[in-house]
Every structure is written in C-alpha cells, then in structure tokens.
Structure 1
C-alpha cells in the first residue's frame, strides 16, 4: 500500500505477503517450518525493499507466494496457537482479569482485537467482552478486513474501547517507527481513564494487551523489556501484568492518563551487541500533540 503522505508510517500490509488461498492442513512440524521460513523470507524481503533492490524483492515475494502467502501462514499460525505457541494467547489475558467481578458487571467490556485469527478464542467466548475483530486478511465472516492504521478515528466516546489486543502484531509491522506509531495510535481508540468505573476491575482499564515473540525483548541488539517499559511510559501506559514463556512475552498495560502534551523521541540505540542477536526495535518520532 502506497502512503498518501510522506510522513505517514507504512500500512501494515507492507509487512505482510500477498494472499494465496490454500486449504491444506499441516502437521506440527510442517506448521513450525512454514512459520519460521515465512519469517526469514519476510525479513529478507523487507531488507531488499529498504535497499531499493526491486529484483530481489520480487524474487522473495514470489517465494512467499509459492509457500501459500499470508492465507497459508495464518492457517499455520492458527494451528500454532495450540501447538508451538503454547495455546490461545488470549487465555493469558483472562488469567489476569477479575473474571468473577466482570461477569457480575451488567455491561460487557468493549474489546478491539487487531490481527484477529479467530472469533472463537478464549476472550471471544468468555461472555465478558463485546468484541470487534479486525485483520488485514480476514479468515472468518466475523473478522472485519481492515488495516488498523487506516481505521477511522472514533467520532465520540461510544466508538472507543476498554481494551485493545495486539497479539503477535507489532512484530509484523515493517518499520521500527511504524511500530511506535501503532502503539501511539492505540491511545486514540481507548476510552478515557475516568469513564465507566468498574469497581475492583477499574485498576486494569482502559488497557492494552501486547504479545511479542520473546526474542524481541530478550535477544535484540536494540530492544529489551526495560526499553519497552521506557517507550510505554512515554506514551502514558503503565505495566500492570507480565509473563514470559519459552517463546512469547505477554504484557498488559493500563492507560494512566498522563497530562503530557509533547512526546519526546524514542530512538534506536545498540544495547546488547552480538552476532547472534536480532535487530528488532520500536522507535517513536517526537510529537507536539498527544492523541485525545
């Protein structure tokens, strides 16, 4: 997707390969191999695009298409939720929430799930959320095909959410600044802190649920869990919950309603040198105006 404005971060679709339909089921080994191969090829494709090497970019894109494109990758990811990813990631969020209190509350929480793969995950079937699912390549009728970065801003508070889920989404955004811009944009879609108090549950909302590959925060040259805290503090989030598994890093962040009106830049800097480390990082350009 071509940006209309030079300063606008690339659409999420810039980090995702073309869609090729496939109905083939996969074994655990095949699913894991496809996911790993896709990530490697996608990284090489983005590097070629950054260098302006159109020939290499086209060749790698063709290789990704031969693997089945984003549709086949998403099918592998769905199987991976129960195989390689340790289960449905939204189950961790439910473990953190005071479910008994939320079920007693008359009105369900409004939740936006970005990068949704299924309408049947734990949060969707819990009975405590009024869900909206979006993804670049919808796999089900209940998932709206939409790029979060192109989603129209809320017209009023009725179109905001109590919680937003970014589960294994940020790592697919093609540029470091684009990841920061996505986090910044979530503030525009969350309700204000003082609205709709919920008793014992109010200490966790409005909030943002983030899941990243663990290697993004513990094996990067430029990014760590501590740096993630720094970035989220700049944005006005406070970490409420965290969990590390062998493959994933889970975190729940509450919007704390900072009065900051100017956002400082959050830049890329080498923290952990090493040949075996990856280059994942999130950055943020300074901004004079903070989202409402």
Structure 2
C-alpha cells in the first residue's frame, strides 16, 4: 500500500521572510546620542571662535560616527515601548485630563468640531500616540532630518513666522529638542520664538489653550551647574508660560505649560547656581524680549498688550502672584 505524502505547509512555498534588523542595545543608543551631542557642542565652540580646521575635523568625526541619521535612529529606538515609550502618550493623557481631548474620538475620521492644530518639532514618527486623534488634532511635523513621508525637513529656527492667527497652533510639542541646541543663548532664542507660533485668539471654549509640551533629559535640571527646575520655570515664566502639569522619571522631565501672555521680560545669564563633581554644564541664557507683537488679524486687544486671548487677564493676575517672573 502506497504511503501518502504529507502535504507541505503553505508557508513552505513562500519566499523566505527577511530577518528583522537587529535592534540597538539601550547602552549603544545612549552612547550614540551622548557622543553626537558632545561633538556638536565642540563644533559650535570651534565655529564661534573661527577655528575652521577644528570645525572641519569635528564635522568629519560626526559623519564618521553616523551623523544625524544614526542619532535619530538611536532616538527613535527610545520610543519603543520597552525603552520608555512614546512621550506623546503622556501629552494625550494630560490633554484628556484638561478636557481638550476625548478618548472616544481616538481613531475616528470626523467630529463635529474643528480640529485643533499641533506643531511637533523634532518629530520622529507619524504613528505616535497623539497621531491617533486625527479628527481632533491636525498635526504638522518638522525635523532637521525628516524620517519619511509626513515629516517636513525644516529647522524650527528658520520656519517662517505666521502672519495670521489661523496659521498658528494650539499646541506645540518640543520633546528632547532644546538639549540638542549646542549653546545657552541658542536655547534661549528657541524658547522665545515659541509664542510666535501659538494662537492668540480662542478657537474653542477650552480655556486651557494654547499649550507647550516640553521634554528634557532629567540631568539638564537635576545635575546641572547652571540650571535647576526652579530657574527653568522662572525662565519659562518670563516668556509668558505657566506650569500646568509635570512629571519626572528616572531619565526625563516632562512639562505641560500654558501660554498666558506677556509678563515683565527678564534677562537670564549663564550663571552658576551650584557645583559638584560630575555635574554637567547645561544652561539657558535669555535676553529680554519686547512684550508686544503684531496682533492677530481682527483680534481684540487684551489689557496685557497686543497678545489677545479671552482668559489672559485672569491667568495673568494669578501668575503674577507667584515667583516665576522674578529676576534670577
């Protein structure tokens, strides 16, 4: 009696599946990120003093180490769920708590209300947590080195300033971007530029807008000779931001700040406030900025200046009672 041959599984006739790319270890991704930051700081210092030979050597070393492409790959690796995850998930959580987002709208293509606008600076993915709410939030994503479709290649510091309020945003996300700027004055200029991109007239009844979602490595405030959390919030307050939410983890510090309008502008120099072995030199220096900017088209003026937002007077009064706008 002939023995029947066993039928092969369907998969046996398919071409071999390509092996997934080997993931970076957490240690390797951290080393890549730290090395990239260190080399860019040295490059900025060489360029500042006009040492062209040193600058060229550092540029070559940066490219030899994989350049910004490898740096971003290491940063993107950190968004994996087993490496601390996507920071925008916390932003979503906070927006839900504030009543800005409704979790039931996740994944829906349409809602009855006009979507809010969010500018994500330093975007790594178009599939992060906040992107799941496309019916409620219209995302604009930019990065120095775009990771693909849906992320525009653009330097935030060179992005054209909006001329009309409808071109501004309700939410701006600046996650692990400020620490990439190589010097203290440059970081201050980046922070001062943010309000120019935030709406100055309300588009909904939600009085918790506009908002800045701001993330830094914890050592920037926890182990720096020049800045701690108190000083950071003083700086943000001098620009017109009030703290709404915060979270500190073993590696990162997360802040959600509401822009409430102008307060008395203050100069913050790079000034040592503490010392100790193993501390870093992260700093933010801010030059005073003018209180007024051109008002949005057809927007009423508030008593706080040309910034127009319906609840600024109340928020501004509360904000001025605390110590965030005092001199350093």
- TM bucket (normalised to shorter chain) is 0.7 to 0.9
Question: Equivalent residue of 1:238, what SS?
Answer: strand
Q: Where does 1:261-272 land on structure 2 (aligned, <5 Å)?
A: 263-272=265-274
1:27 aligns to what? 24
Deviations 1:48-95 (A, max 9, x none): 333433333222221110111101111111112227851111111111
Q: Note if contact 1:32-1:84 (Cα within 8 Å) is conserved in structure 2.
A: no
Equivalent residue in structure 1 for 2:170, among 159, 162, 170: 162
Residue pair 2:37, 2:180 contacting (<8 A) in 1 also? no
Q: 1:235 aligns with which of 239, 256, 271?
A: 239
Q: Quick one: which of 105, 109, 118 aligns to 1:111? A: 118
- CA–CA distance in 2 between the matches of 1:150 and 1:176? 18
- 100-109 or 239-248, larger mean C-alpha shift: 100-109
Distance 1:76 1:268 in 2: 30
Q: Secondary structure at the match of 1:45?
A: helix
Matched residue, 1:6? none
Distance 1:157 1:181 in 2: 22
Distance 1:175 1:36, change over 3 A: closer
CA distance in 2, matches of 1:84, 1:220: 28
Shift of 1:102: 2.5
Unaligned runs of 5+ in 1: 1-23
1:53-132 → structure 2 map (5 Å cutoff): 53-82=51-80, 86-98=84-96, 102-103=101-102, 106-127=113-134, 128-132=136-140
What residue is the counterpart of 2:275 in the other structure?
A: 273
Map 1:171-250 onto structure 2 (within 5 A): 171-192=179-200, 194-199=201-206, 202-203=207-208, 205-250=209-254
Could you tell me how far apart the structure 2 residues matched to 1:25 and 1:41 are? Answer: 26
Instruction: Give the direction of change, closer, same or farther, for the CA distance of 1:140–1:238 in structure 2 (3 Å limit).
Output: same
Q: How many correspondences in the alignment? A: 263
Q: Give the Cα–Cα distance (whole angstroms) in 2 for the partners of residues 208 and 101 of structure 1.
A: 13
Check 1:173–1:146 CA distance in 2 against 1; reply closer, same or farther (3 A cut).
same
Gap change, CA 1:84 and 1:229, over 3 Å in 2: farther
Rounded Cα–Cα distance in structure 2 between residues aligned with 1:83 and 1:48:
38
Q: 1:209 to 1:85 in 2, by over 3 A?
A: farther
1:285 aligned to which of 284, 287, 302: 287
Higher-Rg member (1/2) = 2
Contact 1:154 1:189 in 2 (8 A): yes
Deviation at 1:177, TM superposition (A): 1.5
Distance 1:272 1:83, change over 3 A: farther
When residues 50 and 26 of structure 1 are mapped into structure 2, their CA distance, relative to the original with a 3 A threshold, is: farther
Aligned-residue Cα RMSD (Å) equals: 2.1
